[in-house]
């Protein structure tokens, strides 16, 4: 995988927790809509209208709003994010500690090279060298990930900034 692509995947990896948080929040909202419709359908049944009619109305409203489809989409997206995170984490875990730290400092925390070198206690050139080697090693590991091209495609489409 090219250096540019590896950087894109690493940035995507570090943005996955926030993307998952947003999806879980939306999932709760969709479930609240479903629960509200379900409750409204159940309450309407006490006044008559025939058995099953309130449930049919609630189900119809849920279908009209696309509640079930959206809930399913969110579930699939969360599974994909979790799978991507696990695949990249496994590759990162294969790196030595200093390589992993320099990638994290640069992409997760957005540290400057000066700050990275101070935190690692090494010259700026050494920090940059470790970073370059980390990207190369990670790229080789990512090439071996099943469906690496799909992972890269998702990383390319993700909003990571």
In 10 A of CB 119, how many CB atoms? 14
Q: Mapping DSSP to helix (H, G, I), strand (E, B) and coil, where does residue 109 land?
A: coil
Is it the case that residue 40 has pLDDT exceeding 70? no
Sign of the dihedral defined by the CA atoms of residues 43, 48, 51, 55, in that order: negative
Is it the case that residue 56 has pLDDT exceeding 70? no
Instruction: Specify the pLDDT at position 159.
Output: 75
Least confident residue range of 40-49, 60-69, 100-109:
40-49
Is it the case that residue 45 has pLDDT exceeding 60? no
Percent of the chain with pLDDT over 90: 67
Instruction: Specify the pLDDT at position 64.
Output: 61
CA angle 158, 103, 100 (to 5 degrees): 120
Return d(Cα 39, Cα 43) in angstroms, integer.
6
pLDDT in tens, 16-34: 999 999 999 988 888 777 6
Residue 40 or residue 109, greater confidence: 109
Buried b / exposed e along 92-113 (16+ C-beta atoms within 10 A): beebeebbbbbbbbbbeeebee
Reported pTM: 0.78
Percent of the chain with pLDDT over 70: 78
pLDDT in tens, 57-80: 555 666 666 777 888 899 999 999
* Contact assessment for residue 14 and residue 142, using Cβ atoms and an 8 Å cutoff: no
């Amino acid at each position: 995988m090219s250096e540019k692509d590896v950087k894109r995947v690493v940035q995507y990896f570090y943005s996955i927790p926030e993307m998952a948080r947003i999806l879980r929040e939306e999932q709760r909202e969709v479930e609240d809509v479903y629960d509200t419709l379900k409750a409204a359908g159940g309450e309407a049944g006490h006044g008559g209208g025939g058995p099953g009619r309130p449930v049919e109305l609630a189900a119809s409203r849920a279908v009209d709003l696309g509640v079930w489809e959206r809930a399913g989409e969110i579930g699939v997206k969360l599974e994909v994010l979790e799978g991507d995170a696990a695949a990249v984490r496994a590759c990162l875990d294969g790196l030595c500690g200093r390589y992993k730290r320099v990638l994290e400092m640069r992409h997760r925390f957005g540290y400057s090279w000066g700050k990275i070198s101070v935190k690692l206690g090494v010259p700026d050139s050494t920090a940059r060298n470790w970073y370059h080697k980390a990207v190369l090693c990670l790229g080789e590991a990512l090439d071996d990930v099943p469906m690496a091209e799909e992972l890269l495609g998702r990383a390319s489409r993700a909003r990571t900034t």
